[in-house]
Chain A
Amino acid sequence: MIDHNAPLQLSPAQLKSRRARNIAIGLAVGFFCLLFYVVTIAKLGVAVLDRPL
């Protein structure tokens, strides 16, 4: 029987690879945000926010 309340015991290998995956995902998301920021400036121009209200 599975004890659903028992804490999940991960092996050192699982912990190490999970940390590496988390860092990779973080870097990828960060790069993606930066890329779209730069693309937005490139498409709309540096004066994108310089508009009359």
Chain B
Amino acid sequence: MAVLGQSDVLASPAALVSIAEPADYLRLLKPRVMSLVVLTALTGLVLAPGHLNPVLGFASLLAIAVGAGASGALNMWYDADIDALMRRTRARPVPSGKVTREEALSFGLTLACLSVFSLGIIANWLAAGLLAFTIFFYVAIYTMWLKRSTPLNIVIGGAAGAMPPLIGCAAASGTVSAESLILFAIIFLWTPPHFWALALGKTVDYANAGVPMLPNVKGPERTRLEILIYSLILAPAGCLPWLLGFGGTVYGLVALGGGLGMVYRAWQTWRAPAHGVAMRLFGFSILYLFALFAVLLLEHAALLLVAR
């Protein structure tokens, strides 16, 4: 890619016109993260007490997804410098030069405002307030502050990723239910073993970028132990919806099997310090969370259909 010097830009105003495609802007929204946000928010929405018009439910979900996308765009705006230093992220639209930082910032802020005010009008202002807080927490608390300053970055920052079930529940019912808080706790406890498994495989990348991930600060051995401890807490927490009666038998079986799978893979990671083992735990953790929420959602959807 040609890099334009300041004199080139001054000599050629045409060089200021962007070559970004709509797909580049879509990539700013982190579509894969967005899909998990949609699933967890939809689960919170469906499990909420009361009834929400399906049109308003769909529109609320869309607003939550766009809010999550706005967080991703603002994260890529702020982190463009460290994204350029890591192999995993250097092809993102800002470090690759497709979208400028200013464009990413404007895009993120516009979508953030649009999503929050839309959710307030479509659903209610509690849901909109929670969405605004989530965007603020992810961008200002996690991205700008914690990520570059403490190895606990993703432990505390994980709260932002755990918020969608609460927002979904608030959108549907105007309140935050105990069930949605349990779903929050599951995602919150899932985040550290998930990201530390990735960080174990990307220590060189994070060291190059100067991001103080746990393996870089406390060492891989301590990280593997922490992963095992978190997985041992996460596995029973994953069974809570079944134990408390809002998850059915299928959910119980998936939560038990998946929880045992998480603990087994975390134990393997702890015993055998190989790169491949940690990455398999990372992959399995995504499948585990997806399965928990998908089954819970399908069970409730089936119950609603039977009730009609």
Residue numbers of A with Cβ under 8 A of B are 2, 8-11, 13-14, 17-18, 20-21, 23-24, 35, 38-39, 42-43
Contacts and interface: CB of A to CB of B under 8 A. Distances in A.
B21 A10 contact: no
B253 to A, nearest CB: 37
A40 to B, nearest CB: 10
A35 B122 CA distance: 10
25 contacts: A2-B10, A2-B11, A8-B13, A9-B14, A10-B14, A10-B17, A14-B14, A14-B17, A14-B18, A17-B19, A18-B17, A20-B21, A21-B18, A21-B21, A21-B22, A21-B25, A23-B22, A24-B22, A35-B62, A38-B59, A39-B55, A39-B56, A42-B55, A42-B56, A43-B122
Contacts of A42: 53, 55-56
B301 interface: no
A-side binding surface: helix, strand, loop or mixed? helix
Contacts of A2: 10-11, 13
Contacts of B22: 20-21, 23-24
Nearest to A13: B19
B-side binding surface: helix, strand, loop or mixed? helix
A8 B55 contact: no
Given A2-B11, A8-B13, A9-B14, A14 B56 contact: no
Contacts of A39: 55-56, 59, 121-122
Give the 10 A-B CB pairs with smallest separation, nearest first.
Answer: A24-B22, A42-B55, A17-B19, A14-B17, A42-B53, A39-B59, A13-B19, A8-B14, A17-B21, A20-B21
Given A17-B20, A18-B17, A42-B56, 14 more contacts: A8-B14, A8-B17, A9-B14, A10-B17, A14-B17, A17-B18, A17-B21, A21-B20, A21-B21, A23-B22, A24-B25, A35-B62, A39-B59, A42-B55
A18 B16 CA distance: 12
Given A9-B14, A42-B53, A35 B59 contact: yes
A24 B182 CA distance: 39
A11 B56 contact: no
Contacts of B19: 13-14, 17
Interface string B12-42: 0110011111100100000000000000000
Contacts of B13: 2, 8
A20 B14 CA distance: 18
Nearest to B26: A24
Contacts of A43: 53, 56, 122
B34 to A, nearest CB: 16
A26 to B, nearest CB: 11
B269 to A, nearest CB: 42
A46 B100 CA distance: 45
A17 to B, nearest CB: 5
A23 B21 CA distance: 11
